[in-house]
């Protein structure tokens, strides 16, 4: 492995090539990061007529299909007031998760021309993917806020705290996973297919389409119920529900009305539920991902003399 | 294209005693195959078969470069010149031994690495400059110089994919020579462009030498290196076989 200069040598100004600020790199290299994000956005929409409009079209279609299938045909909107808002606040979470995770996984292999020729802190690529995903997330968030307002929701401090907690947990957790898979993907391309699989499963294994009390009723008391609850995505989706749906007037009125079944709309541990567990898991995964990326540096830099990057 | 030998300026480098690069017992082993699927890995693990053959790209290399020196690396194809340069730039980590640096290093390891075909020349100058370690302020200040040096002003807002290979190399080289690092790594790039441009590049190298920059240059242009360098290292199969006077080094390589 790399040997960094001793403290005495560092005092004389010595450093090892590729010795950098570690996880602080993205903050120190803001200018470069900014340019990488712009590059990604330019390249992604080259030759595209609709351009950024696609980041509205995709979630809109997704929403319509789910609303029709789950809300209308499976009648989920009957027991859930403002089901459209409930559904969409979950969809934006899994979409952001999917895009950050998927893009980050491909970020290093996609930039292999750079990685194998010029030294750059490797974390910058997954970080750039995350920022690109956030650019796509903003319009969706805007639509969500407008939709929630139309459904009798008003901004509140509770909503703001839940939203910020949810975003932090989601981004830290997904970046941790993404850095790890980005590094692994450089060695084994199988990883990106595996990641697509996880993203697909994520929509169904967190309370996006259905309500969490339905899950509790079927698997309560088993270890699976605990695992389901501890899934960071479950925690984040629930935080988003608290932020945009739980305290909107239809839901509050329904609970106040005392109609049988309406008590299940409120969650145990309200308002922020297991946020601390989500935060712990997210930070642990981030640390692991960061370590993994460092450890796999060698694999990130494909051989140069023979083989080389494809 | 080979630069004409009479165009190559005499070295303006002024070696000093301050060490800038220390390469200590560096070895690097490459495996001959990099593409493998998980399936192949599992099978080879089950059969206890060796996955890939390896070879030593660098074998216990020691080298110290001092401030102001221009050190040439020569050797036949596959002797480890570029690999050595990459361990200095940080793109490759040695398997054993260590490399230490003082000051900022920038590498012209491959002209145009980091250029994206779908971006305009202007965007590429900024992206590539930032990758090579320039700040926003430096880039804004030097942008006009970079474009003027490349002589492609009228195409600067055209996407790079429409550039001719000559234009592309000019712009890429121009960005690299304006990064102004303490240690400059140059890999086989002095043969880009047409004759007037080559002359200009060599002039620029001379200016950098006169300004006291440290340089490590890899090239097959032996006469050119002999004139540019203060010292030449000959590599053979990943080992250093000669380190010293440029003329003797070139003779040593030719004799082998």
pLDDT of A250 above 70: yes
Q: Is residue B213 a contact partner of residue B176, using CB atoms and an 8 Å limit?
A: no
Higher local confidence (pLDDT), A114 or B209: B209
ipTM greater than cut 0.90: no
Residue A117 belongs to domain spanning: 60-300
Minimal CA separation from A286 to chain B, in Å: 24
| Interchain CB distance below 8 Å, A36 and B22 | no
Query: Structurally, how many domains does chain A consist of?
Result: 1
Picking from B18, B28, B31, B34 by the largest number of A CB atoms within 10 A of its own CB, the best residue to mutate is B34
Q: Distance (Å, rounded) from C-alpha B48 to C-alpha B57? A: 25
Confidence of residue A244 (pLDDT cuts 50, 70, 90): very high
Cα separation, B180 vs B208, whole angstroms: 8
Examine the pLDDT at A302 and tell me if it is beyond 60: no
Set of chain A residues whose Cβ sits within 8 Å of the Cβ of B91: 18, 115-119, 301, 304
Answer yes or no: do A17 and B88 touch at CB < 8 A: yes
Q: Report CB contact under 8 Å: A39, B123.
A: yes
- Give the span between the Cα atoms of B182 and B185, in whole angstroms: 10
Task: Answer whether residue B192 shows pLDDT above 60.
Answer: yes
3-state SS of chain B is CCCCHHHCCCCCCCCCCCEEEEEEEEEEEEECCCCCCHHHHHHHHHHCCCCCCEEEEEEEEEEEEECCCEEEEECCCCCCHHHHHHHHHCCCCCCEEEEEEECCEEEECCCCCCCCCCCEHHHHHHHHHHHCCCCHHHHHHHHHHHHHHHCCHHHCCCEHHHCCHHHHHHHHHHHHHCCCCCEEEEECCCCCCCHHHHHHHHHHHHHHHHCCCEEEEECCCHHHHHHHCCEEEEEECCEEEEEECHHHHHHHHHHC
Question: How far is B253 from B76, CA to CA, in rounded Å?
Answer: 8
Q: What is the CA radius of gyration of chain A?
A: 22
The reply to whether A188 touches chain B by the CB within 8 Å rule is yes
The mean pLDDT value for A184-210 works out to 90
A234 within a domain of the structure (yes/no): yes
* Mean pLDDT (whole number) for B2-16: 73
Average pLDDT over residues A268-284: 87
Q: Which domains does chain B have, with CATH numbers?
A: 1-34+53-103+183-196+210-256 (3.40.50.300), 110-181 (1.10.8)
Inter-chain touch B131–A39, beta carbons under 8 Å: no
Return the higher-pLDDT residue of B197 and B127: B127
Q: Is residue A11 part of a domain?
A: no
Q: How far apart are CA B212 and CA B214, in angstroms?
A: 7
Closest Cα in chain A to B53: A306
> Is position A310 within any domain?
no
pLDDT, one tens digit per residue, over B224-241 is 888 889 999 999 988 999
Taking the whole predicted model, whether its pTM rises above 0.80 is answered as yes
Cα gap A245→B55, rounded to integer Å = 61
Whether residues B118 and A9 touch (CB distance < 8 A) is answered with: no
- Residue labelled with tokens 């640096």: B101
- Give the CB-side neighbour count of residue A45, counting CA atoms within 13 A: 14
Residue A103 in contact with residue A177, Cβ under 8 Å? no
CA angle A288, A292, A294 (to 5 degrees): 120
Whether residue B34 lies within 8 A of chain A, CB to CB, comes out as yes
Residue A13 lies in a domain: no
Check residue A309 and give its pLDDT: 35
Numbers of helices and strands, H then E, in chain A: 16, 1
The answer to whether A118 contacts B113, with C-beta atoms less than 8 Å apart, is yes
Assess B137–A contact: CB distance below 8 Å, yes or no.
no
Which stretch, A26-40, A93-107, B188-202, has highest mean pLDDT? A93-107
Q: Do A303 and B31 touch (CB under 8 A)?
A: yes
CA terminus-to-terminus distance, chain A: 25
A89: distance to nearest CA of chain B, Å?
35
Asked if residue A143 belongs to a domain, the reply is yes
| Mean pLDDT in residue range A223-247 | 92
Cβ separation B103–A305 shorter than 8 A: no
Q: Are B64 and B99 in contact (CB under 8 A)?
A: no
Point out the residue among B34, B118, B135 whose CB comes nearest to the CB of A42: B118
User: What is the structure's pLDDT at A8?
Assistant: 81
* Chain A contact present for B234, CB below 8 A: no
Most confident of A50-64, A211-225, B45-59: A211-225
B70-74 and B231-236 strand pairing: parallel
- Render pLDDT for A70-89 as a digit per residue (tens, 0 to 9): 888 988 888 888 899 999 99
The Cα–Cα gap between B144 and B190 comes to 22
């Amino acid at each position: 492995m790399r040997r960094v200069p001793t403290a005495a040598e560092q005092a004389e100004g010595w450093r090892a090539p590729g010795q950098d600020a570690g996880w602080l790199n993205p903050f120190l290299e803001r200018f470069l990061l900014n340019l990488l994000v712009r590059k990604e956005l330019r390249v992604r929409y080259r030759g595209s007529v609709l351009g950024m409009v696609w980041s509205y079209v995709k979630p809109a279609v997704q929403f319509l299909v789910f609303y029709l299938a789950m809300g209308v045909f499976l009648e989920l909107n009957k027991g859930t007031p403002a089901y459209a808002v409930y559904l969409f606040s979950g969809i934006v979470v899994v979409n952001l998760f999917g895009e950050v995770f998927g893009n980050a996984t491909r970020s290093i292999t996609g930039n292999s021309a750079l990685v194998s020729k010029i030294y750059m802190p490797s974390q910058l690529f997954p970080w750039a993917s995350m920022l690109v995903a956030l650019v796509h997330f903003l319009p969706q968030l805007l639509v969500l806020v407008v939709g929630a307002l139309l459904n009798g929701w008003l901004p509140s401090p509770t909503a703001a705290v839940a939203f910020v907690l949810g975003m932090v947990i989601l981004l830290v957790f997904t970046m941790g996973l993404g850095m790890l898979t980005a590094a692994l993907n450089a060695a084994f391309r199988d990883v990106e297919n595996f990641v697509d699989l996880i993203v697909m499963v994520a929509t169904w294994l967190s309370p996006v389409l259905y309500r969490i009390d339905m899950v509790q009723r079927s698997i309560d008391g088993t270890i699976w119920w605990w695992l389901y609850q501890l899934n960071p995505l479950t925690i984040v989706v629930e935080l988003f529900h608290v932020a945009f749906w739980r305290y909107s007037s239809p839901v509050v009125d329904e609970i106040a009305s005392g109609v049988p079944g309406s008590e299940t709309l409120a969650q145990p541990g309200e308002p922020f539920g297991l946020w601390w567990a989500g935060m712990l898991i997210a930070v642990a995964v981030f640390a692991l991902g960061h370590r993994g990326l460092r450890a796999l540096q060698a694999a990130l830099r494909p051989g140069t003399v023979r083989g080389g990057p494809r | 294209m080979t630069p004409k030998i009479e165009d190559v300026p005499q070295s303006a480098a002024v070696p000093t005693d301050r060490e800038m690069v220390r390469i200590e017992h560096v070895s690097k082993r490459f495996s001959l195959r990099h593409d493998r699927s998980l399936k192949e890995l599992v099978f080879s693990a089950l059969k206890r078969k060796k996955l890939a053959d390896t070879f030593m790209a660098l074998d216990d290399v020691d080298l110290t470069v001092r401030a102001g020196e221009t050190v040439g690396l020569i050797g036949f194809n596959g002797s480890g010149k570029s690999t050595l340069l990459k361990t200095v730039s940080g793109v490759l980590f040695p398997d054993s031994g260590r490399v230490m640096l003082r000051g900022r290093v920038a590498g012209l390891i491959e002209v145009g690495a980091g250029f994206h075909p779908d971006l305009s020349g202007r965007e590429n100058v900024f992206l590539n400059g930032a990758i090579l370690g320039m700040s926003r302020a430096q880039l804004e200040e030097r942008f006009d110089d970079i474009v003027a040096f490349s002589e492609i002003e009228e195409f600067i807002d055209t996407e790079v994919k429409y550039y001719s290979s000559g234009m592309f190399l000019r712009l890429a080289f121009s960005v690299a020579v304006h990064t102004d690092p303490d240690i400059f790594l140059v890999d086989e790039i002095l043969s880009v462009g047409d004759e007037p441009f080559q002359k200009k590049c060599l002039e620029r190298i001379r200016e950098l030498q006169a300004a006291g920059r440290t340089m490590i240059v890899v090239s097959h242009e032996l006469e050119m290196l002999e004139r540019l360098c203060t010292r030449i290292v000959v590599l053979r199969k990943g080992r250093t076989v000669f380190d010293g006077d440029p003329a003797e080094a070139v003779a040593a390589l030719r004799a082998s």
